[in-house]
Structure 1
Amino acid sequence: MLAIDVDGLFNVRASDTTRPWLVRSGAPEALSEAGEKLLIALGVSVIVDLREPAESEAVVHGIPSASVPVYGTEPPATGTLEEIYEGLLRNRGHALTAAVGAIADAEGAALVHCTAGKDRTGLVVALARFAAGASEDDVVADYVLSAPQVRPVRGAHAERIAASVEARERADVLRLHLESPPEAIVHALAVIREFGGAEKYLRAHGLRSDQLAALRRKEGVSA
């Protein structure tokens, strides 16, 4: 995934800088008119929102949106990245797969986001890219790029949460909200392998054959 500049978005990367099939970012509430025009020019036909309804603010763009709440409840404010990723993979497979399906069903490119574009987005993007043929090395290399983009935007929020918990929990809180360490996504990949790999995981949770074929076709066209 390649870093791109889109006015009003942060932590933005795309599978290609001119004709992507997949774009990832943080929340788009500040997306400007110029940013929206750029996304449309890149072929973005749907924005897949992984947040819970209570997290979303008023839509300020005209690109169709698909809401796929990944947690199904209030997002965790504390805990470790590894525990949270594993919990999502083991307990929210149908939601993660629905998000991948929305990417597959997009007529053009899909932009996927949560709040920071790091955790929920990281898992969904990893699964979609694996299904399309990406390697584990590629997925890890993309995942670790989020932290430097997220810290300036989400740092104050993370510090407020860290200040409200016991001292022994603070490092994990800051890591949860601000970091994208390779060991966290590597742990998630190990869980996916337990299920037989991304394709078996997604098929077991409802991804259709035509959606899997669409992901592979999108990657082939973009390459």
Structure 2
Amino acid sequence: MTDDLPDREPDLPSAFLDIPGVRNFRDAGGVGALRKGVLYRSGSFHNLAPEGAQRLKALGLRTVIDLRSPVELEVWPDLRHGLDHETLNLPTLPANREDTDRPWPEDQETLYPFMAETAGPSLVAAIRRLGTSDGVPAVVHCAVGKDRTGLTIAVVQSLLGASDADITADFLLSNAGLGLLDGPTPYLDETGTERVSRPVSAPLLASSLTWIRTHHGSVPAYLRSHGTTEADLTALRTNLSA
């Protein structure tokens, strides 16, 4: 997955911020009790421009949570341009296909339940960092900020009391941020293979959340099954709430 996609649409919702060299950058706040200015979401920083770095510095950026695979990081490492934030690499998906007994997803419809099944450790580590006093403002990103980032942000917003409808509305903004409102777009993946980037849809995110709730009963219970404590959840809510 990479961000070789068309330039983003000229008229984007107010949640989007112009960070030169970074795709699909927007504030995740204003959804549920999540306050604005503490948690952002985006595509990768591998094309970050110096001007973009200065704008991130002005936001007070302290943490970048990178959900990409080790291969993606090797091919497209994030640029910093002197920024001194902490970076955490917390892959949503297994590093190797052999690390899971489930068939590797071949399309979006199977990707989203698969992410829910494999993302637990990544989500727990992200939540712990976001709950620390020096952890925010933070950015969560993957390659283009729609699938892996979409699930991670949805979980955080859910923990902050957001409704599924509001979470989904925010999730769907990636179609505007990535120029996917008119349908699928070709791109080159980390191996140089041409693939097709497809728009996100409400049923995709619903399939992840349904997997979580079917197997664990609730988002907090799912996270607890992976080691999150009540203290972790309280710290997150305290640190990010409006």
Instruction: Give 1:182 shift.
Output: 1.0
**Counterpart Cα distance in 1 of 2:36 and 2:201:** 29
Aligned length: 207
Is the 1:151–1:178 Cα contact (8 Å) retained in structure 2? no
Structure 1: give runs of 5+ residues left out of the alignment. 163-173
Residue 126 (1) aligns with residue 143 (2): no
**Identity fraction in percent:** 29
Shift of 1:58: 3.4
**Are positions 1:4 and 2:17 aligned together?**
yes
Distance 1:16 1:142, change over 3 A: closer
For 2:143, the equivalent position in structure 1 comes to 115
- Aligned amino acid, residue 117 of structure 1: G
Q: Note the C-alpha offset of 1:88.
A: 1.9
**TM-aligned CA distance change 1:186 to 1:58, over 3 Å:** closer
TM-score calculated relative to the size of structure 2:
0.75
Q: CA deviation at 1:83?
A: 1.2
The residue type paired with residue 87 of structure 1 is F
Q: Which moved more, 1:60-69 or 1:120-129?
A: 60-69
User: Aligned partners of 1:114, 1:59: CA distance in 2, in Å?
Assistant: 11
Amino acid of the residue matched to residue 68 of structure 2?
R
Instruction: Find 1:23's aligned residue among 34, 40, 48.
Output: 40
C-alpha change, 1:188 and 1:147, in structure 2 (3 Å) is same
For 2:185, which of 148, 152, 155 is the aligned residue? 155
User: Shift of the alpha carbon at 1:78?
Assistant: 6.3
Give the C-alpha shift of residue 50 in structure 1: 0.4
Q: Which moved more, 1:54-63 or 1:73-82?
A: 73-82
Aligned pair in 2 of structure 1 residues 157, 192: CA closer, same or farther (>3 Å)?
same
Comparing both chains, which one has the higher relative contact order based on Cα–Cα distances under 8 Å and sequence gaps of 6 or more?
2
Q: 2:38 & 2:235 partners in 1: Cα distance?
A: 11
Q: 1:40 aligns with which of 51, 57, 76?
A: 57
Gaps of 5+ in 2: 1-13, 98-102
* Aligned residue number for residue 218 of structure 1: 239
Task: Give the C-alpha shift of residue 28 in structure 1.
Answer: 0.8
Distance in structure 1 (CA, Å) of the matches to 2:239 and 2:17: 19
Q: Which residue number corresponds to residue 139 of structure 1?
A: 167
Corresponding residue of 1:70: 92
Q: Secondary structure at the match of 1:2?
A: coil
Counterpart contact for 1:130–1:199, Cα < 8 Å: no
RMSD: 2.8
State the Cα distance separating 1:123 from its structure 2 match: 0.8
* Distance in 1 of aligned mates of 2:109 and 2:69: 21
Tell me what 1:169 maps to: none
> Is 1:60 matched with 2:87?
no
Distance 2:131 2:198 in 1: 29
Name the counterpart of 1:197.
218
Higher helix share: 1
After TM superposition, the runs of 4+ consecutive aligned structure 1 residues lying more than 6 A away are 75-78
What residue number does 1:102 align with?
129
User: In structure 1, the residue corresponding to 2:221 is in which secondary structure?
Assistant: helix
Task: State the TM-score, normalizing by the size of structure 1.
Answer: 0.81
Q: Which residue of 1 aligns with 2:118?
A: 91
Q: Distance in 2 between matches of 1:150 and 1:27?
A: 13
Pairwise CA distance, 1:111: 0.2
CA distance in 2, matches of 1:59, 1:122: 19
Does the Cα contact within 8 Å between 2:65 and 2:88 map onto a contact in 1?
yes
What is the match of residue 179 of structure 1?
A: 199
- Please say if residues 132 and 212 of structure 1, whose CA atoms lie closer than 8 Å, have aligned partners that are also in contact: no
